[in-house]
Amino acid sequence: MKLKKSTDKIVVPESGNDISIPKDFVAALTDYRPGFTVLKVLHIELEVEKQIPSYNEDSKETHLKGNVLTGVIVLVKR
């Protein structure tokens, strides 16, 4: 999948229909290990026992409206 470039939104092509998501900014944090420090600084809630972030399974949005998780952090088994 290739995202289309835009300055004010993220455009994701899906099944012939583009999905457009407005954005203020995007933090592209890459590593093979999840960045728990960043999550803590942003006050993203972590499940106490496993120390993984709480988020909506469908949208990947955290309890903070507009904050969406992607990558290895959402691949961790609950």
pLDDT digit string (tens) for 8-59? 777 777 777 777 777 776 666 666 666 677 788 888 888 878 778 888 888 8
Contact between 11 and 4 under an 8 Å Cβ cutoff? The reply is: yes
State the alpha helices, DSSP H only, in the chain: 36-41
Q: Give the chain's domain count.
A: 1
Residue tagged 């809630």 (tokens): 45
Q: Residue 41 domain-assigned? A: yes
Distance CA(20)–CA(32), nearest Å, equals 28
Q: Residue 52 domain-assigned? A: yes
The DSSP code for 9 is E
Q: Which amino acid is at 5?
A: K
Q: Residue 45 domain-assigned? A: yes
Which residue range forms the structural domain that includes residue 54? Answer: 25-74
Question: What's residue 29's pLDDT?
Answer: 65
pTM here is 0.53
Which residues fall within 8 angstroms of residue 56, CB to CB, at 6 or more apart?
62
Q: Residue 67 domain-assigned? A: yes
Report which of residues 49 and 75 the model is more confident about: 49
